[in-house]
């Protein structure tokens, strides 16, 4: 009898589907001349002063481990930043954990709270890692569709309706990838009331916090009364400082949570890479001096492109909710009669533009496509023209 | 958030072929507001012209460039302005700066050949009244100019599709 490795796998983990994004990547990678609106990362390169700090750190021979928690000097900068930008107070000694991207933050926070059978609410459409993360942590993901007519925001009623005696926590993914939706302070207060009353833990993924285009800016739910004690704030440097490849993130949470997360982090990761930490510290240090000018410059550039995208899609006759966060628009393609997947496949094969079907982000993404505008303006204009031609000839 | 003026200037500096409609959409303003702001900036000399950044080294054109340090005697009441005006009127002179430090004016001078440039320095520039000395540095290669990298390009290194 031949050896069958699959017999030895954990069936729950083996059954988790691969990301729907992957399939598109494989097709798109073989298409010369394709313009990609499928990229989930900034089109800026990390500002040079940040890269330079990492280079100098290497030249100075800083090649050792850091504290499990991350460099204290970096955690102090994060503490200052969180207070300065979002009015959050965390103790750099035991309430801030430096992670390998916010992705590790998703994993750690879920792992420390999930008991087998615990239900974790996940508003959808949303980032592809949440539901698999819950499964890996031994919990049960409970998707909660959100709708364009509610601006893809979570409603208190929907949360109430989804809660069962097994509900432990909710992931709050705003500003949202893929919809670009944000949840303003007023709405957050209504949600916080439910979270407190129904005793839910909140994992607030705020990786796009700096890319918020509403005049009031981003509000962290942890800043609302009664929420800090039950909230994990996940953030990082990837989107705000164009540092995706550095894999630098952090979690801010009460000490009792951080203490247990740090145990997993200590035994599995040891510490985030040192040069990434040095670079991150430089990003925040310079920001403290110049009012986070790097971030402001990039945000303004995204905002300009965001307006162009929304207007263009509406002119093409698509329904297009106005996204006020992240760098995605999520136009509705229902009127074409095509499924999201077929639409994206045909757009790619016939007109060489890569978009991601909304269904990659949950079943409720059907009828929508995600278009990233983190791409040069000339490329964007060309892609929009091709899409317009595609729609005209459908 | 920058003012409309600053936003327009930065967008135009990046790509001056953007249409009024595009500029209006991108800045969240009306076409009229953008149009009149640009007219105003053209009128008051904030915007002097719309020019491409050219890498002449990639063309067949023969060309020599030099940075020339010039020491001059400033004139009563006029300071350096009068002599700077005399100098910048030469077609060969592409840029003129008044500098602090060891010399007074810095010129970027362009000519078709080395000989032509040498001729300009020795017969036109050095002989000007109040010019007391020059030092000519030939440009060998242009790596970056006006914020644009000339040699090589920073490619998009991102994966085509990511979550």
Residues A237, A98 share a domain: yes
**Which of A356, A252, A375, A369 has the alpha carbon at shortest distance from A305?**
A375
How many structural domains comprise chain A? 2
Average pLDDT over residues B61-71: 95
Query: In B, which residues are within 8 Å of A177 by CB distance?
Result: 163
In angstroms, the separation between the Cα of residue B152 and the nearest Cα of chain A is 16
CA atoms in the 13 A half-sphere facing the CB of B45: 0
Clarify whether residues B65 and B134 are in a common domain. yes
Question: Residues of A numbered 41-100 whose beta carbons fall under 8 angstroms of chain B's beta carbons: which are they?
Answer: 41, 43, 45
pLDDT, tens digit, 9 for 90 and up, residues A313-334: 999 999 999 999 999 999 999 9
Q: Based on the fold, state whether residues A274 and A137 are members of the same structural domain.
A: yes
Judge if A171 and A248 occupy the same domain.
Answer: yes
Query: Mean pLDDT over residues A69-86, rounded?
Result: 98
Lowest mean pLDDT among A25-34, A158-167, A254-263: A25-34
In order, the DSSP letters of B23-38 are HHHHHT--HHHHHHHH
Q: Please tell me whether residues B76 and B29 are part of one structural domain.
A: no
Candidates B2, B28, B162; nearest CB to A21: B162
The yes-or-no verdict on residue A20 having pLDDT over 80 is no
The DSSP line for A208-265 is TTT-B-STT----GGGSTTTGGGEEEEEESTTTTT-GGG-EEEEE--HHHHHHHHHHH
Any domain includes B149: no
Same domain, B135 and B91: yes
**pLDDT attached to residue B155:** 78
Tell me: do B35 and B69 sit in the same domain: no
Report angle CA B95, B98, B99 to the nearest 5 degrees.
115
In a domain, A2, yes or no: no
What does the pLDDT average to over B1-21?
92
Q: Are residues B27 and B95 in the same domain?
A: no
Task: Supply φ then ψ for residue A316, to 5 degrees.
Answer: -80, -5
Average pLDDT over residues A229-252: 98
Cα B11 from Cα B28, distance rounded (Å): 13
SS3 label, residue A305: helix
- CB contact under 8 Å between B25 and A307, yes or no, is yes
Global pTM value: 0.91
Out of A24-28, A118-122, A336-340, least confident range: A24-28
Give the mean pLDDT of A195-214. 98
A378 lies within 8 A of chain B by CB:
yes
Q: Which of A240, A268, A290 is the last residue of a domain?
A: A290
Helical (H) or strand (E) element with B44: none
Phi and psi at residue B133, in whole multiples of 5°?
A: -175, 155
Tell me the CA end-to-end span of chain A in Å, nearest whole number. Answer: 54
Domain membership of residue A217 as a residue range: 48-290
- pLDDT bracket for residue B151 (50, 70, 90): confident
Residue A337 has pLDDT above 70, yes or no: yes
pLDDT tens-digit readout, B13-23:
989 999 999 99
Residue A259 has pLDDT above 70, yes or no: yes
Question: Are A307 and B2 within 8 A, CB to CB?
Answer: no
Within a domain: B49: no
Please tell me whether residues A279 and A359 are part of one structural domain. no
Within a domain: residue A131? yes
Taking residues A130-144, what's their average pLDDT? 97
Q: Per residue in A142-167, pLDDT tens?
A: 999 999 999 999 999 999 999 999 99
Alpha-carbon gap, residue A65 to B35, rounded angstroms? 57
pLDDT category, B2, cuts 50, 70, 90?
confident
**Number of separate domains in chain B:** 2
Asked if the structure places residue B48 within a domain, the reply is no
- % of chain A surpassing 90 pLDDT: 94
Claim to verify: residue B115 and residue B73 sit in the same structural domain:
yes
Cis preceding-peptide flag for A125 (omega within 30 of 0)? yes
**CATH code for the domain in which residue A368 is found:** 3.90.1150.10
Residues A37 and A52 grouped into a single domain: no
Query: What is d(CA A323, CA A329) in angstroms, rounded to the nearest whole number?
Result: 6
Q: What does the pLDDT read at residue A19?
A: 82
Structural domain range at position B129 = 61-141
Which chain B residues contact residue A344 at CB under 8 A? none
CB A201, CB A110: distance < 8 Å: no
B102: exposed, middle or buried (C-beta count within 10 Å: 0-12, 13-18, 19+)?
exposed
Say if residue A221's pLDDT is above 90: yes
**How big is chain B, counted in residues?**
163
Residue B77 has pLDDT above 90, yes or no: no
- A3: in domain: no
Contacts of A25 in chain B (CB under 8 A): 159-162
A17 and A76, same domain (yes or no)? no
Domain end, chosen from A273, A290, A307, is at A290
Q: Are residues A283 and A351 in the same domain?
A: no
- Same domain membership, residue A76 and residue A157: yes
User: Which pLDDT band holds residue B1 (cuts at 50, 70, 90)?
Assistant: low
One domain for residues A322 and A273: no
Domain boundary (A243, A259, A290) is at: A290
Query: With an 8 Å Cβ cutoff, is A347 touching chain B?
Result: no
Q: Chain A partners of B22 at a C-beta cutoff of 8 Å?
A: 308, 381
CA distance A344 to chain B (A): 12
Residue A157's CATH number: 3.40.640.10
Nearest CB to A24: which of B11, B154, B161? B161
Hey, are the CB atoms on A28 and B18 less than 8 Å from each other? Answer: no
Same domain, B67 and B17: no
Is B78 a residue whose pLDDT tops 90? no
B84/B135 same-domain check: yes
Same domain, A309 and A175: no
- Residues in A closer than 8 angstroms to B1, CB to CB, are 296, 300
Residue B134 lies in a domain: yes
Average pLDDT, chain A: 96
Quick one: B87 and B135 in the same domain? yes
Residue B59 has pLDDT above 80, yes or no: yes
Q: A14-28, A339-353, B79-93: lowest mean pLDDT where?
A: A14-28
Structure tokens given for A185: 């302070």
Residue B34 sits in the same domain as residue B78: no
Interface test with B, best of A207, A217, A304 (most B CBs within 10 A): A304
On whether any CB of chain B is under 8 Å from the CB of A37, the answer is no
Closest Cα in chain B to A130: B163
Q: CA of B8: which chain A residue's CA is closest?
A: A304
CATH number of the CATH domain containing B84:
3.30.70.920
Give the residue from A283, A173, A295 showing the smallest Cα distance to A239. Answer: A295
- Give the pLDDT mean for B36-45: 97
Residue A160 DSSP SS3: helix
Nearest to A355 by CA among A325, A318, A324: A318
pLDDT of residue A66 exceeding 70: yes
Rg (CA), chain A: 21
Question: Residue B77: which region, alpha, beta or left (left: phi > 0; alpha: psi -120 to 50)?
Answer: left
Task: Report helix, strand or coil for A319.
Answer: strand
Residues A65 and A182 in one domain: yes
| Segment B85-128, tens digit of pLDDT | 999 999 999 999 999 999 999 999 999 999 999 999 999 999 99
Residue A275 falls inside a structural domain: yes
User: Cis before residue A49, ω within 30 degrees of 0?
Assistant: no
- Does A112 lie in the same domain as A83? yes
């Amino acid at each position: 009898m031949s050896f069958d490795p699959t017999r030895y796998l954990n069936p729950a983990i083996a059954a988790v589907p691969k990301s729907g994004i992957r399939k598109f990547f494989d097709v798109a990678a073989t298409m010369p001349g394709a313009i990609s609106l499928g990229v989930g990362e900034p089109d800026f390169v990390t500002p040079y002063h940040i890269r330079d700090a990492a280079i100098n750190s290497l030249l100075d021979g800083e090649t050792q481990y850091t504290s499990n928690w991350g460099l204290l000097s970096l955690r102090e900068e994060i503490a200052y930043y969180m207070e300065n930008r979002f009015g959050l107070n965390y103790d750099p000694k035991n309430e801030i954990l430096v992670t390998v991207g916010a992705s590790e933050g998703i994993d750690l926070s879920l792992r420390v709270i999930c008991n087998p059978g615990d239900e974790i609410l996940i508003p959808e459409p949303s980032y592809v890692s949440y539901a698999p993360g819950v499964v890996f942590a031994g919990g049960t993901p409970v998707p909660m569709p959100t709708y364009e007519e509610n601006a893809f925001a979570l409603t208190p009623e929907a949360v109430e309706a989804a809660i069962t005696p097994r509900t432990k926590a909710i992931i709050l993914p705003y500003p949202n990838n893929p919809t670009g939706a944000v949840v303003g302070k007023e709405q957050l207060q209504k949600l916080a009331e439910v979270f407190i009353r129904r005793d839910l833990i909140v994992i607030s993924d705020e990786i796009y916090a700096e890319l918020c285009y509403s005049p009031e800016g981003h509000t962290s739910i942890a800043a609302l009364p009664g929420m800090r004690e039950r909230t994990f704030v996940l953030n990082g440097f990837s989107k705000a400082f164009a540092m995706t490849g550095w894999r630098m993130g952090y979690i801010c949470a009460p000490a009792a949570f951080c203490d247990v997360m740090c145990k997993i982090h200590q035994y599995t990761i040891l510490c985030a890479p040192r040069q990434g930490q040095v670079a991150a510290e430089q990003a925040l240090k310079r920001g403290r001096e110049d009012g986070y000018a790097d971030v402001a410059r990039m945000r303004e550039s995204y905002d300009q492109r965001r307006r162009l995208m929304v207007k263009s899609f509406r002119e093409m006759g698509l329904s297009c909710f106005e996204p006020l966060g992240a760098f995605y628009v999520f136009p509705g393609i229902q009127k074409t009669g095509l499924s999201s997947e077929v639409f994206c496949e045909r757009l790619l094969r016939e007109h060489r533009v890569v978009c991601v079907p909304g269904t990659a982000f949950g079943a409720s993404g059907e009828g929508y496509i995600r278009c990233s505008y983190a791409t040069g303006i000339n490329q964007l204009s060309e892609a929009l023209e091709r899409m317009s031609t595609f729609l005209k000839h459908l | 958030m920058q003012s409309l003026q600053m936003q327009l200037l930065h967008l135009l500096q990046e790509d001056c072929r953007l249409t009024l409609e595009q500029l209006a959409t991108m800045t969240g303003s009306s076409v009229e507001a953008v149009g009149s702001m640009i007219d105003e900036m053209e009128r008051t000399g904030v915007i002097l012209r719309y020019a491409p950044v050219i890498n002449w080294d990639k063309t067949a054109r023969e060309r020599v460039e030099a940075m020339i340090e010039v020491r001059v005697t400033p004139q009563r009441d006029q300071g350096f302005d009068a002599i700077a005006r005399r100098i910048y009127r030469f077609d060969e002179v592409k840029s003129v700066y008044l500098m602090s430090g060891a010399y007074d004016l810095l010129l970027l001078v362009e000519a078709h050949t080395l000989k032509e440039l040498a001729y300009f320095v020795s017969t036109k520039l050095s002989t000007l009244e109040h010019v007391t000395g020059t030092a000519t540095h030939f440009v060998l290669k242009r790596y970056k100019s006006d914020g644009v990298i000339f040699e090589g390009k920073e490619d998009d290194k991102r994966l085509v599709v990511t979550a």
